A and B are shown apart, each in its own frame.
Chain A
Amino acid sequence: MLTFAVVTPGLDLQSSFLELLEGLGLSQGLAQLLWLPLPMLTVLVAAVVGVLVNVWLERKISAAVQQRIGPEYAGALGVLQPMADGLKLLFKEDIIPAKADGLLFTLGPVLVLVPVILSWLVVPFGQNLLISNVGVGVFLWIALSSIQPIGLLMSGYSSNNKYSLLGGLRAAAQSISYEIPLALSVLAIVMMSNSLSTVDIVNQQTGAGILSWNIWRQPVGFLIFWICALAECERLPFDLPEAEEELVAGYQTEYSGMKFALFYLGSYINLVLSALLVSVLYLGGWSFPIPVEWLAHLIGQSVEAPLVQVITGSLGIVMTVLKAYLLVFFAILLRWTVPRVRIDQLLDLGWKFLLPVALVNLLITAALKLAFPAAFGG
Chain B
Amino acid sequence: MFGFLKKVGDYTQDAVGAAKYITQGLGVTFDHLRRRPITVQYPYEKLIPSERYRGRIHYEFDKCIACEVCVRVCPINLPVVDWVMNKATKKKELRNYSIDFGVCIFCGNCVEYCPTNCLSMTEEYELAAFDRHSLNYDNIALGRLPTSVTSDPSVQPLRELAYLPKGVMDPHGVASTAPRVGRLPEQVLETLVQNAAAAPAATPSRADAPGAPDPADSAAANDA
In the complex, are the beta carbons of B22 and A64 less than 8 A apart? no
CB-defined interface of A322-342 with B at 8 Å, one 1/0 digit per residue?
000000000001101110000
Interface centre among A61, A64, A334 (most CB of B within 10 A): A64
What is the CA–CA distance of A333 and B25 in the complex, to the nearest angstrom? Answer: 10
Q: With contacts A334-B26, A338-B25 known, is A69 near B39, CB below 8 A?
A: yes
Contact pick for A337, options B29, B35, B37, CB 8 Å: B29
Known: A61-B33, A337-B28, A353-B15. A67 touches B22 (CB 8 A): no
B22 partner residues in chain A, CB cutoff 8 A: 334, 337-338
Provide the bound-state CA to CA distance between A338 and B28, in Å: 11
The answer on a CB contact under 8 Å between B41 and A64 is no
A338–B30 alpha-carbon span in the complex (Å): 13
**Per-residue interface assignment for chain B, residues 81 to 99, with 1 indicating a CB less than 8 Å from any chain A CB and 0 otherwise:** 0000000000000000000
Residues of A within 8 A of B28 (CB): 337
Task: Give chain A residues whose Cβ lies under 8 Å from the Cβ of B33.
Answer: 61, 64-65
Q: Which residues of B contact A338 (CB under 8 A)?
A: 22, 25
Chain B interface, >50% SS class: helix
Smallest distance from the beta carbon of B57 to chain A beta carbons, Å? Answer: 34
A175-218 vs B, Cβ < 8 Å mask (1 yes, 0 no): 00000000000000000000000000000000000000000000
Q: In chain B, residues 31-62, which have Cβ atoms closer than 8 Å to a Cβ of chain A?
A: 32-33, 35-39, 41
Q: Is A66 interfacial (CB-CB < 8 Å)?
A: yes
Q: Is the CB of B30 within 8 A of A333?
A: yes
> Do A67 and B35 touch across chains, with their CB atoms under 8 A apart?
yes
Closest to B24 in A: A337
Residue of A64, A69, A353 touching B32 (CB-CB under 8 A): A64
A336 touching B29 in the complex, CB below 8 Å, given contacts A67-B39, A68-B37: yes
Q: What CA separation (Å) do A61 and B11 show in the bound complex? A: 34
Closest Cβ of chain A to B12, distance in Å, is 10
Check B25–A67 contact: CB distance below 8 A: no
* Set of chain A residues within 8 Å of B39, measured between Cβ atoms: 67-69
- CB B8 to nearest CB in A, in angstroms, measures 10
Once bound together, how far apart are the Cα atoms of A334 and B36, in whole Å? 20
Interface string of B5-25 (1 = CB under 8 A from A): 000000100010000001001
Whether A67 and B29, one on each chain, are in contact in the complex, defined by CB atoms closer than 8 angstroms, is no
**Chain B residues, CB < 8 A from A66:** 32
Binary contact track A59-89/B, C-beta < 8 Å → 1, others 0? 0010111111100000000000000000000
Residue of B nearest to A352 (CB): B11
For the complex formed, measure the closest distance between the CB of A194 and the CB atoms of chain B, giving whole angstroms.
Answer: 30
A345 vs B11: C-alpha distance when bound (angstroms)? 15
| A61: nearest chain-B partner, CB-CB | B33
B11, B29, B37, B41 interface centre (most CB from chain A within 10 Å): B29
* C-alpha spacing A65/B37, complex, angstroms: 9
Asked whether, in the complex, the Cβ of B32 is within 8 Å of the Cβ of A65, the reply is: yes
Contact between A333 and B29 (Cβ–Cβ < 8 Å)?
Answer: yes
- A353–B32 Cα distance when bound, in Å, is 31
Is A67's CB under 8 angstroms from B30's CB?
A: no
> Which B residues are in CB contact (< 8 Å) with A337?
22, 25-26, 28-29
Contacts of B25 in A (CB 8 A): 337-338
**Do B29 and A69 have beta carbons less than 8 Å apart?**
no
Q: In whole Å, how far is B214's beta carbon from the nearest beta carbon of chain A? A: 47
Contacts of A69 in B (CB 8 A): 37, 39, 41
A333 CB contacts on chain B under 8 angstroms: 26, 29-30
Q: Which chain A residue has the least Cβ–Cβ distance from B38?
A: A67
| Beta-carbon nearest neighbor of A336 in chain B | B29
B33 to chain A, nearest CB (A): 5
Report the bound CA distance from A124 to B95 in whole Å. 82
**How far apart are the CA atoms of A271 and B15 in the complex, in Å?**
25
* Chain B neighbourhood of A68, CB < 8 A: 37, 39
Minimal Cβ-Cβ distance residue in A for B35: A67
Nearest-neighbour CB distance to chain A for B170, whole angstroms, equals 11
In the assembly, what is the distance between CA of A265 and CA of B35, in Å?
Answer: 31
Closest to A72 in B: B41
Report yes or no: B26 in contact with A67, Cβ–Cβ below 8 A.
no
Q: A61-B33, A334-B22 are in contact. List 15 more A-B contacts (CB 8 A).
A: A63-B37, A64-B33, A65-B32, A66-B32, A68-B37, A69-B37, A69-B39, A333-B30, A336-B29, A337-B26, A337-B28, A337-B29, A338-B22, A353-B11, A353-B15
User: A-B pairs with the 6 shortest C-beta distances?
Assistant: A337-B25, A337-B29, A67-B38, A64-B33, A69-B37, A337-B26
